Amino acid sequence: MGASYKDAGVDIEAGDALVERIKPHAAKTRRPELLSGVGGFGGLFAIPPGKYREPVLVSGTDGVGTKLKLAFALDRHDTVGIDLVAMSVNDVLTCGAEPLFFLDYFATSKLDVDRAEKVIAGIARGCELAGCSLLGGETAELPGFYAPGDYELAGFAVGIVERSEIIDGKSIVPGDAIIGLASSGIHSNGFSLVRKIYEGRPLDPTLLEPTRIYVKQVLALNKQVKVKGLAHITGSGLPGNVPRCLPDGTRARLFERSWQRPDVFDRLQAWGQVERAEMFSTFNMGLGMIAVVSRSDVSAALKHLGEGAWEVGVIEAGTPGQEAEAIIEP
């Protein structure tokens, strides 16, 4: 008998079986605008009729990074899909956009249907938390490309916002307040350093705590008060991400003692003897999302957000014409 695709390492039947297993997970994320189901060549999604005068689509894409290495080592695959969705929908959210749908890309050397289903069930759960539809995706079996048992994840989200309601930071002025929203832990950045620090130590399953999804909470906040700026705290931490939502000539001053952070950051800093500046430029340090509001709206914002939200800083005048910056006071 001649050579076959299956002999070469690609099992089309396993891929078809996975599609059938995905369908009930995707069904839980269905929005009324969804016009197609999982399994087609393309996903169809209608812009919500009558809701927008000038709708603007907002897109974001990301992966999970080397956090996947911990999932492999701990053989736990039910949470990294949430991370995947979170990284894109939280980015889209910073423009004030409501995520509409998400597509994923799952690639591995040899498809393990049970493991893949756990991953994609996590993706579907992330979509539920974000209020968006899992519109479709791609499963690729690439023998010889990845190490046995490894896989890669990537994905992207598309959201929508009224043109006149785009959050772009242009209205931010000195005196505005900075609200910080608690992270659930490390989220999905800095894991190359985490893995280096944990060399020779038993891995802690809490390291896989999934990235918090802020979509519903922040969209609801924006209906209560005017949110002037939003920053998703990912790679490069607070110093690198907060200025991205600020106009030139301003400076964010944050006060480290004004919020609580998970113990994992203190543990990483102590074990790795990591400098404070390095910690803040690598990790979220307990704040996964930053919102800028007028001073007069602070009380209403904190009341709406509840536990896990703090006033953490203030916007100041910076050097005229220069790029915005962020300073974190001890």
Last residue of a domain, one of 104, 132, 165: 165
Q: Is residue 253 assigned to a domain?
A: yes
Residue 245 CB contacts under 8 Å (≥ 6 apart), including other chains: 94, 167, 169, 172, 229, 230, 231, 290, 292
Q: Which two tokens stand for residue 222?
A: 């924006």
Q: Is residue 160 assigned to a domain?
A: yes
Q: Which two tokens stand for residue 129?
A: 């938390």
C-alpha distances in angstroms, 203 versus 31, 73, 210?
A: 38, 8, 16
- The answer to whether the CB of 231 falls within 8 A of the CB of 94 is yes
How many whole angstroms separate alpha carbon 109 and alpha carbon 115? 13
Full pLDDT tens readout for the chain, 330 residues? 567 667 667 777 887 888 888 788 888 899 989 887 777 788 899 998 889 999 999 999 999 999 999 999 999 999 999 999 999 999 999 999 999 999 999 999 999 999 999 999 999 999 999 999 999 999 999 999 999 999 999 999 999 999 999 999 999 999 999 999 999 999 999 999 999 999 999 999 999 999 999 999 999 999 999 999 999 999 999 999 999 999 999 999 999 999 999 999 999 999 999 999 999 999 999 999 999 999 999 999 999 999 999 999 999 999 898 999 999 999
Full residue range of the structural domain in which residue 58 is found: 12-165
- 27 and 69, same structural domain? yes
Q: Is residue 291 assigned to a domain?
A: yes
Q: Is residue 283 assigned to a domain?
A: yes
CATH code (residue 152): 3.30.1330.10
Q: Is residue 44 assigned to a domain?
A: yes
- 218 and 153, same structural domain? no
- The answer to whether the CB of 207 falls within 8 A of the CB of 286 is no
Q: Which two tokens stand for residue 84?
A: 């995947």
What's the structural domain count of the chain? 2
Rounded CA Rg of the chain = 21
| Total residue count of the chain as it appears in this document | 330
What ranges in 75-209 are assigned the alpha helix state H? Answer: 80-93, 113-130, 191-197
**Digit-coded pLDDT (tens) for 191-219:** 999 999 999 999 999 999 999 999 999 99
Q: Is residue 5 assigned to a domain?
A: no
CB neighbours (10 Å) of residue 149?
12
- 136 and 33, same structural domain? yes
Q: Which two tokens stand for residue 300?
A: 């209403």
Q: Helix (H, G, I), strand (E, B), or coil: what is residue 69?
A: helix
**pTM, rounded to two decimals:** 0.95
Q: Is residue 3 assigned to a domain?
A: no
Last residue of a domain, one of 111, 134, 165: 165
